Amino acid sequence: MSEERRLQILRAIVQDYVSTSEPVGSKALLERHQLGVSAATVRNDMAVLEDEGLISAPHTSAGRVPTDAGYRLFVDRLSQVKPLSRGEKAAIREFLEHSVDLDDVVDRTAKLLASITQQVAVMQYPSLSRSSVRHIELVPLTSHRLMVVLIVSSGRVEQRVLEVSEDLLTSEGETLVADLRTRLNAESSGRLLSEAAHGLDGLAEEFAEDDRATVRAVVQVLTDAMAEQREERLVLAGTANLARTGGDVVHLAPVLDALEQHVVLLRLLSTVNVDAADAVAVRIGAENPYEGLHSTSMVTTSYGTGAVAGLGVLGPTRMDYPSTMAAVRAVARYVSEILDQ
C-alpha cells in the first residue's frame, strides 16, 4: 500500500512540475490532490522518493522536482496513454489528407507534430530498403519510348524512361506491354524490393525470343530502381520551440548541435521497437546515447506498413509525456493510413 501511495505522490509531483515548472512541496500536493493522508505522511514519502533517487531538491527550498529516474518510473507506470480528443483527431486527419505527394506528407507531418506538442518534431523519410512493391506500370510514350513506373508501399514513385527497339504502338507492341505489366506485378506486388528484384531474374526467358531484349531492358531498369541506395533524410520542425523552454534545457548549444547532426537522430529513430503495434519509445535524459541530448527526452515511434521509418519529438525532460506519446502515436497512425491508400 505504501509503495502505491508513493507512486501516487510521484505522479502528482511530475504532473505539478510539468504544469507549473516550479518545485513541488508537500503543502502544494495536499492542496491540489486528494491524497487522503496527513502532511507528515506526504513528507515521509517524499523523503523515501528522494532516497530512491526519484525526486531531488534543486536548491534549499522545500520543493522537489522529478529526476530522470522519476520520469522513467512515471512513464513506465502509465496505465494508459491520454487519448486525443475527437476534434484533435479530425484536425490531424484533415490536415494530412490534403498532402499532394510524399514530400508534402513528410513536411506537413513534421510541422503538425511540432505544433501539437510544442516540441521539436523529427521525421525520417520512408526507407526504401524496408518498402515493398505496390504496383508497376508501363506507359508507352512514343513508338519506341517506354516509361517504367515503380510505386512502393512508402508512397515513393520512381519513374524511368527507356528506348526500345520494338514498336510499342502496334497491336503486337501493345500486347507485349500488357503481358509484361501483368507478369511484373504478379512477380513483384507485395514483396520487399530486394525480394522483388531477385524474383525478376529469368523473366525474359518466359517471353518470345523477339521480345526478350525489351523485357530484359525493363527488368534491368526496375532492378536498378529497387536496388538504388539513397541517403537517409530527415525533416525537422519546431526548433524554435526549444527557445521557449526557459531553463528546462540546461545546455542549449549541444542540443542544437545534435539536431544538425542528422546521423545522430537517424540512429535514435532506427532503434524504435517496432514489434508491437503502436509502440512508442521514450528516452529520458541520460538514456539518450548522445551526451548533447542528456537534458532532453525523445518520444518516437515508427510508421508505415512494415515500419518503414520513424518519427517523433524531442524536448526537455519536463514534458507532458502522456499527451506527447498520444500525439506521436496518433500522427504516425494517420501517416501510415495515408501512405497505404
Rounded to 5 degrees, φ, ψ at 253 are -60, -45
CATH of domain 131-227: 3.30.390.60
Helix (H, G, I), strand (E, B) or coil at 15: helix
CATH of domain 2-76: 1.10.10.10
Query: Domain segments of the chain: what residues?
Result: 2-76, 86-127+232-340, 131-227
Query: What is the third-level CATH fold of 86-127+232-340?
Result: Beta-Lactamase (3.30.450)
Q: Give the distance, in angstroms, between the CA of residue 232 and the centroid of all CA atoms in the same chain.
A: 14
CA dihedral 91, 95, 98, 99 (to 10 degrees): -150
Helices (DSSP H) in 118-154: which residue ranges? none
In order along its 341 residues, the chain shows pLDDT tens digits of 578 889 999 999 999 999 888 899 988 888 888 888 888 998 899 999 999 999 998 876 668 999 999 999 999 888 666 777 788 888 888 888 888 777 888 899 999 999 999 999 999 887 666 678 889 999 999 999 999 999 887 667 888 999 998 899 999 999 999 999 999 999 998 888 878 888 888 899 999 999 999 999 999 999 888 876 455 678 899 988 887 765 566 567 778 887 877 777 877 777 655 455 568 889 999 998 888 888 899 999 988 765 568 899 999 999 999 999 999 999 988 888 887 76
Helix (H, G, I), strand (E, B) or coil at 261: coil
Q: Are 35 and 29 in contact (CB under 8 A)?
A: yes
**pTM score, whole prediction:** 0.72
